[in-house]
Chains A and B, each alone.
Chain A
Amino acid sequence: MSLHLQRRARAVDALAAAGIDMLVAGRQDHINEVTGAHQLWTAGTRPFGPICTLNTATGEIFLLSTWDEGVPEDIDLDHLHGITWNGAIIYQRLAATPGVATAQRIGIDAWSPGMAGLLSAVAPNAEIVPVDDILLRARRIKLPSEVDAIRAACAVAAAGAAAALAHPGTDTERLAAGVEAMALAGSSTPAAEPQVEGPIVDFSCIRSHYEGGLGRTANTAPPAQRPHAALIAACTPGATGHDLRRAAPDGDWLIRGSGMGFEPPVINARYGANEVLEPQMVLSVSARIGGEYARDTVLVTESTPAILSPEAP
């Protein structure tokens, strides 16, 4: 089964288990997750709007896209809605979507007063429930091909980091060189903001829906002596946020999920004490002690954690 259909099945199972009849999604990573569509990447936050619907009983999807370019074949042209600027058309489409009017529970990935009004008009009897947590929890345990996609994205980010480390010049010039190299390696879409600060670099990208990233310090210590080494070693199945705090260095550090972008869990000195790591979770693990910084993308396995980002960028 293709990756996007496996992801969709995973999301449908999780939503159906929570009694959700219909998903109305607006955030691009959730849309990518369930549709598999490749849509134009845009940066930044978005207002909430109904870009994609998924009926959890039938699996039927409707997607906002004027064309079938980048849309998987399992979503037919007659299940695409063209771009619209007209609120009445958005209303009519939602009202006409099979299953919306009769839904008992509609899941949304964000909320606004305007969209809440729209949803209660098209589905007056439905309970409107946020399901971003359900979608993101289902995404925590990565499929084998997701791990491959993340590893490939890490290699692209590493090309950016390598160029920025090697390039002479000001930080701005080295950052420009890194961004250029990352694009040449295959991604013109950053995940987080690239960082070049003297000897410290951090690069990340989104490539084919998945994030890869790493951070390094020039002339760095061997892996076992880097600021995040003990944190990485502690990323084993069953480890809790409390355990990870105990392993944390005396400095800034963050562990968070990484997959179709930034994902939970978020574990740091403030949040995530009760999170529990499981095999096949992928985490971004970073730490900084004084002038030394390092970040890697790490796969939790049954035994020793596997580092997905290249050692030498």
Chain B
Amino acid sequence: MPIIKAGPELELDVGRLRGERYDKLQGQMAADGLDALVLLHGPHVAYATDCLPKGVDVTHASANRPVAVVMADQPRPWLLGGEADGLDVEAGPEVWPDIDEGAAEFGGQLDSILGGTARGGRVGIDLMTGAMRRTGVLSGAETADAANTMGAVKLHKTIDELACIHQAQARTNRAMATVQEALVPGVRRVELAAVFLRRLREEGIDANMIDVIFQPMARRMADGPRTTTGHLAFPTWSGDPVYAEGDLIWVDSGSDYHGYASDFGRTWTVGRSPTPAEQRCFERWLAVMDATYEAIAPGATFADVCAAATSADAPHRSDGDRPWMPHFYLVHGVGIESAEMPFLGTDNGPDFDAAHTLEPGMVMVLEPAIWEDGTGGYRAEEIVAVTDHGWIPLGGGHPYDPFEVPT
């Protein structure tokens, strides 16, 4: 059984990371017929320039956001605003595209960078603020959705992108080990969050991207929140529950290292060992993971992987359901976004899963979930990267305590 023990030796080479991403981006722009890219979404700006997103509220991330401009024929990207020190960019002045006065100025700056492209060229853009629409920014250009270009370049990770995800995950794992020690009866969610946020900083991670989730799970779905799926509600709003002995806690978090996200998932019990019934859920989860790992290889279709996971749990089921939450997936990708392609087992449906295949460089977060109504369930997450021949684990592994892996 490929329980993950240790990650590969992955060293981040920042210069290579920047260079390879920029080459891929310009290559994809050529394929998409774009003369320029204008990027306002934080992770996209980071991809183009290495100016990293901050772990701040959306309103602050938007207010005087850095903007990246990539020209098809220029060797370096433009970075307007943000902290350009040490980056390989053409630095421009701070911009405020979310307010009308700022957007008008920004439009002028864009025109001077884009030159003739601003009049009749084809410009990929990921987002326009209301102020940009009101002030007619890029009104002389043909605009295309940059989401397509960005989706294509980020799908296959470079070795340095893998190193970033590996580091993000390893550091999050270490922070979570401290948090788990603090989980005792009577502790409140904010106390766990406090330990986690402090430990992340100590691990050199300053961008926590999701309000960390320690969700106590109702043992019967009928006792939990109502859902559109008739299934589990997870991850809900955090609130501030107090944990009691015997609670079953589903844990989830996501924090950036050098702009790349971790994704930690585990199931913890409070103040006691798992019951035999809870342990059985964990062992079903392990069996699903084994089958999933077994099925992951370049060329396998998304449907192949989903079928392997589903078969592994079929002996325990009469409901025909699949061993993951219906509003989510068996697998999602991770990178500059906490969830990105590839998605396996979503509501895109069986045709989508049959039509897509795994390819080297894809990074996959496996997150099956087992639920036995009345008992509760087990859910955890592991990250792997698809390689030329199979896959490698990222993050260096983390124990499943207090659940026991059978020998």
Contact = CB atoms under 8 A, between A and B. Distances in A.
Interface of A: 27-29, 37-48, 65-70, 77, 80-86, 89, 108-114, 130-133, 172-173, 175-177, 179-181, 183-184, 186-193, 206, 211, 256, 260-264, 266, 270-272
A44 B54 contact: yes
A177 B195 CA distance: 10
Nearest to B234: A67
A137 to B, nearest CB: 11
Interface in B102-139: 102, 125-134
Given A83-B327, A85-B348, A66 B55 contact: no
Given A46-B58, A191-B60, A130 B209 contact: no
B13 interface: no
B130 A108 contact: yes
B87 interface: no
A272 B105 CA distance: 13
Contacts of A176: 197-199, 201-202
Given A42-B338, A67-B233, A130-B129, 14 more contacts: A27-B59, A43-B209, A44-B42, A44-B56, A77-B226, A82-B229, A83-B327, A85-B347, A85-B348, A130-B133, A188-B194, A188-B211, A192-B56, A266-B102
Interface string B208-228: 111111000000000011111
Given A44-B54, A85-B347, A113 B198 contact: no
Interface of B: 40-43, 53-63, 65, 96, 98-102, 125-134, 143-145, 147, 190-191, 193-195, 197-199, 201-202, 206-213, 224-229, 233, 235-240, 327-329, 338, 343, 346-349
A47 B228 CA distance: 24
Nearest to B143: A113
13 contacts: A41-B238, A45-B40, A45-B58, A47-B126, A66-B228, A67-B227, A114-B145, A179-B197, A179-B198, A183-B197, A190-B56, A206-B57, A262-B62
Contacts of B338: 42
Given A109-B130, A130-B134, A66 B227 contact: yes
A48 B207 CA distance: 22
Contact of A43 (B199, B210, B327, B347): B210
